[in-house]
Structures are given as structure tokens and as C-alpha cells.
Amino acid sequence: MKLAGKKQATESMGEIAVGELDIVLDANPFHELTAIESVVRSHQERLLVLQKAREALKWLDQLGDTDGLKYLVVEDEGVPERILFKIQ
């Protein structure tokens, strides 16, 4: 609790928060399972966002001649957010 700069709470159950980071002291199998579930859920959500981006960009497959077309993809953690096309 000294590290977190807080007084000990009676219901903390061995968990402390340091800024945005949660720290579990004396982790047990329940804590490990919860952490794994959280990671899997995060990956599932990211995959869903990527699948939606792919669906939204299917119309690009129908473009014929793309000579002289340049583009820049702006991403957030590997997920396309904006595509800038420039015709030369």
C-alpha cells in the first residue's frame, strides 16, 4: 500500500491499483483465469473490428485499373481508421 500511496482498504482482497495498472498480490488460479479471459475477450474484440474493416473495404476489390493511385492508411493499433487516396 505504501507503493500505491494509499491506505489499505479492508475489501481489497490483495489487489491494488497504481494509476491505471491493477496489481494482484498472492495471485490464485481465479486471478489467472480472469486475466486469461480478459486477454481472450480483448483479442476477440480486435478480431471483430478487423473483420468489420475488411467488410467495409470489399468495394476496393472491384476497382479495375489502379495505376497512378496512391493511398495512405492511418491505423490505430493495426486497425485501419482512415484511408487517404491520391490520384496522380
Tens-digit pLDDT profile for residues 40-83 = 999 999 999 999 988 988 887 787 777 778 889 899 888 888 98
Indicate the number of domains in the chain.
1
Q: Is 8 left (phi over 0), alpha (psi -120 to 50) or beta?
A: beta
Please give the C-alpha separations between residue 28 and each of 6, 32, 34, 36, in angstroms, as whole numbers: 23, 6, 10, 13
CA atoms lying within 13 Å on the CB side of residue 20: 0
63 in any annotated domain = yes
pLDDT value at position 15? Answer: 85
The average pLDDT across 11-21 equals 79
Q: Nine-digit cell at 2?
A: 505504501
Question: Mean pLDDT, the chain, as a whole number?
Answer: 83
- What range does the domain containing 66 cover? 15-87
9 in any annotated domain = no
What is the pTM for the complete model shown? 0.62
